[in-house]
Amino acid sequence: MLEILIQLALTFVMIVLYAVVFCLVYARVMGGMFNRAKFDPSRETNNDVRFKDVLGIDEAKREAQEVVDFLKNAQTFERIGAKIPKGILLVGPPGTGKTLLAKAIANEAGVPFYSLSGADFVEVFVGVGASRIRSLYKKARKHPAAIVFIDEIDALGRSRSSNQFGGQEGNNTLNQFLVELDGFGRDSNVITIGATNYEESLDTALLRPGRFDRKIHVGLPDLKGREALLAHYSRKVQLDRSVDLRALARAATNMSGADLASVVNEASILAVRERRSQVRHEDFSKAMERLGIGLENASHPLNPHERRVVAYHEAGHAVVSLRTQPHKRLHKASIIPTGRHALGYTWSVEREDRHLITREEYCSELAVLMGGRVAEEMVFGEVTSGAHSDLKRATKIAELLVWELGMLGGSPINYKELTCSEATRERLDLAVEQVLREAYEQAREVLIERREDLERLAQGLLDHEVLYEPDIHAVLRGTKPKRNASDGDRNEWVA
């Protein structure tokens, strides 16, 4: 009898514990849901960004100025029958200043600025996302004019055919957003600004006329813009007389404003680490290399055979680059491993800003990528895993040439946009393979022709580990570099 009572008591205790746990979990979930439903968007009150603070994207600023004019002089536009655009889409790579530009538009126009992320509206609870949209626009419409800024709008406006997160709830949220954009005849001067890095992922309904009427491309800064950005971010930094911002800007092709801010900060950290009161030119150069390539890791040296293999591998890249890429400068070659799992690297930079790439230039890039593997095979009679990343990049370029750009492989067609038959896919894959084989042969021909340059450069790397542009040319002329890498930093950019 006692055993039965104990059994019943234990069962009762377990039931009570399960009930308590269930109630706690339920209360937490419902409390979280309640808190989410209490979404209370508030305007930014500390926005002091002006157009003068937005650097490196002058064309985008000119287009943005029109938006300011719309908001400041709405009646002037309406008097002649012009309608203020309801939506503006800022499109461009990460770190180019899209958020900063949106803030500047609001501040210059003197209107309230509501800033949120597309992820703020992505919820799994039914109705929460749509409710947040309604709450946001209800607040914005209380003002004579206002700007609603949604960063990473692709999280909210992703194509419904590919929207796997949230399912129907995600579609409902997007539908409510479209309703608010349309306005249903409400007389409102609320402009919605969306920012995205992935325009192609947006639902087509968002992009139709009457919703996002304006599209402003916020691209990477040009030479003048990069120099202005470097000067702006360096204005509070103690600079050594050696710093040449123009030369650094020339070297920083394809860097965004955010990248340049990181470069300046990293250069300052390097100066502090070495207990110097001023930042030198070489600090900026090292910071650029760290951002682009990674930190050199000399604490894990290669064995003698590996050093030779890596030296010839990098020399192969360098010699082919010098022979086939007149539009680039060979800035540096190194056989010191980096933090990105590279045992060595060769770094070339564009001589000037360029926006178009020819078929010949793509092919020369492929040959350069193959140069390391070809050099290994020529000198050692075998290849190593050192060419893994080279082959990966080369394959991507070859696929781009054949599948998307129509530059090689026969037909000027973007096959990526089509549903291809198995036979067509096989033909295109064979074309990609042929492109890579031809690049391999081009690299081989260059290295056979320039075998002496290959030997000199490989020996130079074995002797000095790091060679900069002046050193590379000195070695190829048969003379010694002015100093070893260990004697001082040769990390100087040539303008």
Residue 59 Cα distances to 239, 305, 317, 439, angstroms? 30, 53, 37, 38
What token pair was written down for 356? 């178009």
Segment 304-308 long-range contacts (CB within 8 Å, at least 24 positions apart) = 306/343, 307/335, 307/462, 308/458, 308/462
d(CA 179, CA 175): 6
d(CA 252, CA 490): 18
What token pair was written down for 92? 């461009």
The contacts of residue 167 (CB under 8 Å, 6+ apart) are none
Under 8 Å between Cβ of 325 and 363? no
d(CA 102, CA 90): 9
DSSP state of 332: E
User: Per-residue b/e over 161-181, b at no fewer than 16 CB within 10 Å?
Assistant: eebeebeebbebbbebbbebb
Active site (annotated) includes residue 314: yes
Under 8 Å between Cβ of 204 and 30? no
The structure tokens 């050193």 sit at: 471
d(CA 452, CA 459): 11
Question: For 361, what's the count of Cα atoms within 13 Å in the CB-facing half-sphere?
Answer: 9
Q: Active site residue: 180, 314, 399, 469, which one?
A: 314
Cα torsion angle, 321, 322, 327, 331, sign: positive
Angle subtended at Cα 488 by Cα 486 and Cα 490, rounded to the nearest 5 degrees: 105
Under 8 Å between Cβ of 259 and 291? yes
Q: For the chain, first and last CA: distance in Å?
A: 96
The structure tokens 């890039």 sit at: 365
d(CA 411, CA 388): 30
Three-state secondary structure call for residue 437: helix
| DSSP H or E stretch at residue 292 | helix 281-292
Residue 482 Cα distances to 281, 470, 472, angstroms? 19, 9, 11
**What is the set of active-site residues?**
314
